[in-house]
Structure 1
């Protein structure tokens, strides 16, 4: 009977230990179903998603290279009906033109030349010239005295081209225009005090024109 004391003590300790284990198993240290003070279970951190590289933009139609203004040049030719001559001088994006039938009808026109070679020139009394430079020629139409004529003017090499003289001889005011065509032929009008008439022949090499026994000098026309 004396040995029963320690056994009871040992048995009591075992029962206490079992009770404590049972209590821990019941309460637990995990998350409470009521969301109490127990820390939440760790939420796994999502792995960073790799953004797909943005597709390269599709190549757009390349812009056209900047067009350069037409080079400086002179042009001379005739209307399609061969009734009149036309000469055009182009300098620094500007143009001056002369229309002449060699008798009594003429017109000076001027304006701007676009980078694509097109031009819209205007003169007195509603005169108009619409043309375009291409393949070393100017093709277009000219409206003079309400009549429209088509024309072609080829690039002119000196001494071909456009000439003009404005001076006074023996008290008369002279204003003349001359077109020297690539084949060497000439068309011009000389105004004496405002009265038009066929112009005397010009020496293209020197620009000299003989008028009433006196020499005057016509010079190449540039805008």
Structure 2
């Protein structure tokens, strides 16, 4: 491991007519009356109120963030693509993959064993927290551009799945910082750094050649 009803109202006449089984809305005058008639009046139904318009959820088409976890020294990378989100954390001792959703600039992620992370996106940063193994840390991760970002590789070796993850982050004064981890099944193996400038070039992990992929290549299968 690298150190990295409408309502209808009827007047009385209408009610009477209905009681007599008369389809007409006007009752005929009685023969011994002076011609007085009673007509029913029907109120027009009130127009139905339009259903309230549901606010449309906005998602970010594409964004990548990476930065340091406060009080831990590890790195976290967060990537979003049209509402889908993935993240990876590693501090050289522990690692965690997260997946979830982004909506209206809010990211909610879950990982294995009850791990959780959230972030608010804006101002060129992802600010949030992550909880892992009973501990919780905060982070601020600025936007990144390649080759900085999140990378992953998988392969099958002797019937066991080999997996590795890397976060590549540009240093302010040049060069890159990397942190990540690799496993063959449940066995941790030595992690080889990816090429800083060409992080998708093949690398050797425990005598096996793997081909790292950037987040665009695996976000669909993870989210």
Structure 2 segments unaligned to the other structure (5+ residues): 1-54
Q: Kindly name which structure, 1 or 2, has the bigger radius of gyration based on alpha carbons.
A: 1
Tell whether 2:99 aligns with 1:110.
yes
Measured after TM superposition, the shift of residue 154 of structure 1 is: 1.2
Q: Distance in 2 between matches of 1:122 and 1:67?
A: 21
Q: Distance in 2 between matches of 1:198 and 1:213?
A: 10
- Report the TM-score, using the length of structure 2 for normalisation: 0.64
Measured after TM superposition, the shift of residue 208 of structure 1 is: 2.2
Measured after TM superposition, the shift of residue 136 of structure 1 is: 1.2
Q: Distance in 1 between matches of 2:111 and 2:159?
A: 28
List per-residue Cα deviations over 1:72-97 (Å, max 9, x = no partner).
01111110124211011110111000
Q: Which moved more, 1:138-147 or 1:77-86?
A: 77-86
Aligned to 1:83: 73
Structure 1 segments unaligned to the other structure (5+ residues): 1-64
Aligned to 2:153: 165
User: What is the aligned residue count?
Assistant: 158
Q: Distance in 2 between matches of 1:190 and 1:219?
A: 14
Tell whether 2:174 aligns with 1:185.
no
- Report the TM-score, using the length of structure 1 for normalisation: 0.64
RMSD, aligned CA: 2.2
Structure 2 CA distance for partners of 1:126 and 1:214, relative to 1, 3 Å:
closer
List per-residue Cα deviations over 1:142-198 (Å, max 9, x = no partner).
000010001111111011111111103466531101000132110000012212355
List per-residue Cα deviations over 1:11-40 (Å, max 9, x = no partner).
xxxxxxxxxxxxxxxxxxxxxxxxxxxxxx
Q: Distance in 1 between matches of 2:64 and 2:126?
A: 10
